[in-house]
Amino acid sequence: MKKPVNRLKRSENIWGWTFVAPTPFAFLALTALPFVISILLSFVDWNFFSGVEKIKWVGLQHFVDMWDDDKFVQGLKNTFVYVIGIVPLSIILSLVFAYCMNGRIFGKMGHSERVGSGLYRNVPGNYDIRMFEAAVRYFR
């Protein structure tokens, strides 16, 4: 026999499902449904403005014709060059710049001053002078 669920537990369950419920609906409406519709539309020849009655099933013909199109082949080549050349180069350059900014190549950008009560003080007087003196000592 089931244990009776008390009123507080039932209320918590209802509120929990109330807060979780929009997520699956948003996923279905914004991701799953458009994905399925785009897959279906790739197998038909249809102009949206001509209405639903003008849908013509062409099957895989769009995918066969795609390889004969010069623009598609050129786009495929451009994508290949981008993925093989540009992406690794940008990752390597980003890592080099990050290392330079954090290392002694361009300086540590004030790491030694980022502690304590003097954290980026911009107060007129001797406070900011100490920060610059510490930076000069650091790079000697």
Model confidence pLDDT, tens digit, residues 67-83:
999 999 999 999 999 99
Q: Is 57 helix (H, G, I), strand (E, B) or coil?
A: strand
Single-letter code of the amino acid located at 9: K
Specify if 47 maps to a domain.
yes
Model confidence pLDDT, tens digit, residues 10-64:
888 899 899 999 999 999 999 999 999 999 999 999 888 888 888 999 999 999 9
Q: Give the domain range for residue 56.
A: 1-68
Specify if 134 maps to a domain.
no
Specify if 126 maps to a domain.
no
Which H or E element spans position 93? helix 87-102
Specify if 63 maps to a domain.
yes
Specify if 64 maps to a domain.
yes
Specify if 105 maps to a domain.
no
Specify if 44 maps to a domain.
yes
Specify if 112 maps to a domain.
no
CA–CA distance, 109 with 129 (Å, rounded to integer): 16
* Count of domains observed in the chain: 1
